[in-house]
Amino acid sequence: MTFADDMARAQKGIEKDLGLAYTAFVLQLGNEMAVGGKYSPGTPVRTGFARGNWTANVGSEPAPGLDMPQQGGRTKQVGTRRANRIGQEAVAYMQQAFGTVGLAQWGQPIYLMNHTRYIVKLEFGSSTQAPHGFMRLALANAQNLMNDVVRFLARGFAI
């Protein structure tokens, strides 16, 4: 083995670790925006439709998320428990998308999207549940989220 081979192997290991941290960070960010957590209240819930429509993909925009039953052209209202479960399903869907595509390579774009038409209105205060937003709060704490992920991974846990 030459020094160049050792350096190439080390670089691949570093890129794999960065990809793991990057993917874990985006999943945490998605979780904060969808169901809430330490830094964000999560997507407000009235019908559960917006909370259930978070999707993710590596490399290209994801397809729309979960469909909620419709009644007379309006979204059917569901209880908060069901909406929380739908939010958890949306996060599980994001995790599954990463499992299918594989970990993101360092530098690959990761898309977190919500295809709900009124998501921007929710973000800018149309809901009393999150009058100061939920996406902006999660993004404002991106460094804190990354620090949490790095601390978690440094303890030897796999996500």
Domain definitions of the chain by residue range? 21-154
CA dihedral over 18, 22, 23, 27, signed as positive or negative: positive
Helix (H, G, I), strand (E, B) or coil at 33: helix
pLDDT (tens digit per residue) in 126-144:
888 888 889 999 999 999 9
SS3 of 114-132: ECCCCHHHHHHHHCCCCCC
Residue 143 phi, psi dihedral angles, 5° rounding:
-65, -40
State the pLDDT at residue 106.
Answer: 62
Spatial distance between the Cα atoms of 26 and 55, rounded to a whole number of angstroms: 12
pTM for this entry = 0.70
pLDDT (tens digit per residue) in 68-80:
443 334 444 445 5
**Interaxial angle between packed helices 3-34 and 80-101, expressed in degrees from 0 to 180 and rounded to the nearest 10:** 160
